[in-house]
Structure 1
Amino acid sequence: MKKLILILITFFTVNVTAQQMAFTIVHFKAHENSQNDIAELYEKHYADAKFKSGGIFLERLWQGRENGNTHRFVWVWELGNGGIEGEEIKFKNDAFWGEMNNYVETWGKHSSGRFLSWKDGDVSKFPYGHLWDITPEDPVAFKKAHDKIVEDASEVFDGRVVGYGTYDINRPNGASHWVVISEKDTDGHLSMHDNLEKNHSKAMNEYFKNRGQVEHVHDFVVQVLKRYQ
């Protein structure tokens, strides 16, 4: 049986320069007190699955969740090498979705995109991810500024996941890109902001100057409950 991990959706080791990783997200509102049942359903159908690449995730939505959604599924895969091995996969998928409908009150938005920058981290210490949905005026300039601040303030991000990527299909609220940073909890996220403002003001000023104009669309926090890979 595959090892169960508490992890943020994007908390996986990947060299984005060698292979292009992508994702699809499905939001939903679960029936009250059904979270454990959904987690058990995950275990039943995907614990022994052999993914060609990436994996499947169950996340709980916390601060900033929209439209009454409580959870979301995330599929991650390498472009051109997705899916699960085995002839029984269609049967397993049909059975999974049939049972899932017993625990879902309403289905929400589906979105898909790609990972452009990634710094892996220790998810056992920093299991919560703060995500920003954004629309940068110049995505290339934003990526350069993003990568530079991660390097210049490396001690702040030590052990944390930091990522940047795109929304390419059904962009949430019109956002074209996203950023994620992991931390241990809300206090950790606020302490990180405080540290950057007080101790890395020069690097932050350069970041804001070089990244160009950015529209902040929405931000929220996720906690991954289960991951199979």
Structure 2
Amino acid sequence: MIVSGLWAEGTRLLISLAFFVCAAAAADTGEFSAVENLALAVKIDDCGHYARNVPYVFYEQAIESIPQIHPDHVLLAAKRLGRIGRVDYSLVSYLPTRRAAQARIEGMAGSVEGMRAWCFSTEAPAVYHAQALMAVLEQVAALPSAPPSSLSSAKDEFPREVRIFIENRDTCDHFRGEPFEGDTPEQKERRAFILGQLQQYCTGTDKRLAGLRQKYRHRREIMELLSRYEGHVEGD
């Protein structure tokens, strides 16, 4: 199931985001070459606790910072939010300059169930950009997507108020990361919908989180789960 999901996600990413650069890159560097197996070293680091808005935050920061650091860059691919199996991710791929031989791929991935965020980065020959993206997605798909066994077995036994908070805050964090810019009728309608969801699922969660942390401060497994949530999200 994950394999088919990987190829479907990879196909969407390559077609919708990378295809438009092939002609331009080919004109600059020569035709893209096919390679059967691309040896790619992907650097993966533990980047702390995961929340649903983490990929969005990474993406927005990358899109803003890359032009400042590399004014002559060429954006090859950008994915604000993708999913392979139970792992969410965002990534950007770019040439630091128009004549750069190496493409850079950077991103962040994780899952709410796994509770960890992972930063990943690599470089690959620009002519093998498509193959490099698929190789990166394979490694993203293999990232841990389950919580530690101690939490996995205990999660369903958590107090009802904790489970309800988690459901509400996860939904809150999801809509916090949703884009709602624009002035078209459709965009205005979407903005109204998202703001309504934020009102419904975020309101009061800061206070509830503080109360739960105080109430269950002696329950290590609950505190470990609650620690992945931001303490102040209302009013963002």
Give 1 or 2: higher helix fraction: 2
Give 1 or 2: higher strand fraction: 1
TM class, shorter-length: under 0.3
Question: Could you say which structure has the greater relative contact order, defined with CA pairs below 8 angstroms and 6 or more residues apart?
Answer: 1
**What's the TM-score, normalizing by structure 1?**
0.26
**What's the TM-score, normalizing by structure 2?**
0.26
Between Structure 1 and Structure 2, whose CA radius of gyration is higher? 2
